Chain A
Amino acid sequence: MQIYDVVIIGAGPAGLAAAIQCRENNLDVVVLDEFPRAGGRLLGQLHQEPNGQWWNGIEESKALLERAESLETDIQLGVSVHHIEKLDDQFVIHTKKKYFHTRNVLIATGAAESPAPIPGWTLPGVMSIGAAQVMTNVHRVKVGEKGIIVGVNVLSAAIARELQLAGIELHSMALPTRNVVVDEQSDPRLVMDRLSRIAHLAPSKFIQLGSKFAKYKFVQSLALKYYPTNGIKMWGMPIYLNKAIKQINGTDKVESVTMVDVTINGDIVENSEKEIPVDFVCIAGGLYPLAELAAVVGCPFIYSEELGGHIPIHNETMETPVKGIYVAGNITGIESSKVAREQGKVAGLAIAHKELNSIDIEEKLQAAVRNVVATRDAASIQFHPGISEGRKKVSTAFQETMKTQKELELVR
């Protein structure tokens, strides 16, 4: 029976970058991903950086994949991992196909989208914004003739642009009306505050949009009060923080949405209902770390709003308190793909260091850790303004967990 040095779950930027480091150090590695193509969420990405250059996710994932293949990395696609079992000195990775035995595991499963239920959201033609991205940029399928985006955030704005570039007509972007699930996305002040604090870092046109908000920074309520009736335009498409979608209508599929005006508190203005014909609706409910496998193998968690939800506790070198389990990429917090890639490098080097214990690798590891921070600071897409604080919380939690673990061992 083969025992791997490491099984990497997820072939996104984090998993692939880690695999490259492990293979450069000659470890026995297998990368597993349930999607039929390697690259993860990178595959759908296409945006313009502030310096004018384009970030083309397909090219970026090709580069990673080519490097991994040149190092003869075993990458198995279409393989879902449904459990990680912890034995005394190894882990068993359960997949439909077979079991993989390994000394170390890197969980790089990325992020998932939060649902934003609004009346009518189960009609055919309603999809998450990420699904629209994958259909458009990965599968090259036109999602519809004319649509609308419900939910205004960095991700939905970036993907709206991608849909436009693909020649798909969008009516506008608007908020969802308030309900228990979408309370944050439906609050105009919160949405504006988030956009104004991050937009100065985001891609090209978004900067201009950002500066429009930034100008109003100290008078954000005023800005909302006098928010232009026709919305603030980005690439010719109105973004409304003063209008919200109350429901999606249709018999067998999406036929229209009901749009209402909302006050700066997100309250619906009476008699403001308008029906807008569309044949598809994208709902953007935000992202959260996909950490189910870390949970089943017993990693402790910490809640961080800044990082997007419940995060498996880990340190700067991506180790969790469960010895041999590592995490990297969006499972550790919602950030851009460049950060995920650098984190993957760190995890790969950390695993190589654990297995080979060489000074050379240790030095590379330290440099890679610094690189994560530098990449984070320079990232053109930031999902939350408080990412660095969130990171600090997680790192403190790791130290505390390790301290408690030690104390418990002493008691035993």
Chain B
Amino acid sequence: MKDTIICRCEEITLGDLEEIAKKHNSSAREIKLLSRAGMGFCGGRTCRPAIDKILTNITKENPSDALPLKVAPPVRPISLTDLGGFGKDDE
């Protein structure tokens, strides 16, 4: 199971996450930033719930009412040109 990929975009395994957690004694957010799990092309759309689970399990942080990991726009992959928004408003 250690070798099982959790974040497919960044190819992060369960073992990777556990190792980082142990080495740096980090919070859920720090583990995410250090490993890039959930930060690949799909923006965590596949693995987010799994990562939430694993990270809360490692850090023993209880599931609270707030979202475990912050959601930031854009919530879909888009190109920089599209992000710029040029010409998207009608006159």
Contacts and interface: CB of A to CB of B under 8 A. Distances in A.
Interface residues on chain B, size class: 20 to 34
B74 A82 contact: yes
A90 interface: no
A80 B76 contact: yes
Contacts of B3: 119
B4 interface: yes
Contact of B65 (A81, A179, A301): A301
Nearest to A287: B49
Interface centre among B54, B65, B72, B82 (most CB of A within 10 A): B65
A129 B89 CA distance: 40
A396 interface: no
Interface in B75-90: 75-76, 78, 82, 85, 88-90
Q: Main secondary structure on chain B at its contact with chain A?
A: loop
Interface in A89-119: 94, 96-99, 101, 112, 114-119
Given A115-B49, A118-B4, A303-B65, A293 B75 contact: yes
Interface string B31-74: 00000000000000111011001100100000111110011111
Given A94-B85, A117-B14, A179 B1 contact: yes
B88 A82 contact: no
A117 B6 contact: yes
Contacts of A292: 71, 75
A97 B78 CA distance: 11
B6 A83 contact: no
Contacts of A2: 90
B73 A94 contact: yes
Contacts of A120: 4
A122 interface: yes
Interface string A1-18: 110000000000000000
Contacts of B49: 114-115, 285, 288, 309
B67 A97 contact: no
Contacts of B65: 300-303, 310, 397
Contacts of A165: none
Contacts of A115: 46-47, 49-50
Nearest to A177: B1
B90 A1 contact: yes
B89 A1 contact: yes
A397 B20 CA distance: 36
Contacts of B71: 292, 295-296
B83 to A, nearest CB: 8
A345 B74 CA distance: 29
Nearest to A178: B1
Nearest to A112: B45
A179 B17 CA distance: 14
Interface string A183-218: 000000000000000000000000000000000000
A295 B72 CA distance: 8
B1 A119 contact: yes
Nearest to A305: B63
A398 interface: no
A141 interface: no
B53 A99 contact: no
Interface string A273-301: 00000000000010010001101100011
A296 B82 contact: no
Nearest to B91: A1
Contact of B73 (A83, A114, A300, A301): A83
B50 A94 contact: no
A135 interface: no
A98 B66 CA distance: 31
A301 B67 contact: yes
A378 to B, nearest CB: 30
B69 to A, nearest CB: 10
A288 B52 CA distance: 13
A181 B63 CA distance: 14
Contacts of B6: 117, 181
Closest 3 CB pairs of A and B: A83-B73, A82-B74, A295-B71
19 contacts: A1-B90, A80-B76, A82-B74, A83-B74, A83-B75, A94-B74, A96-B78, A97-B88, A98-B88, A99-B89, A117-B14, A118-B1, A122-B5, A122-B8, A179-B4, A181-B54, A292-B71, A300-B65, A310-B65
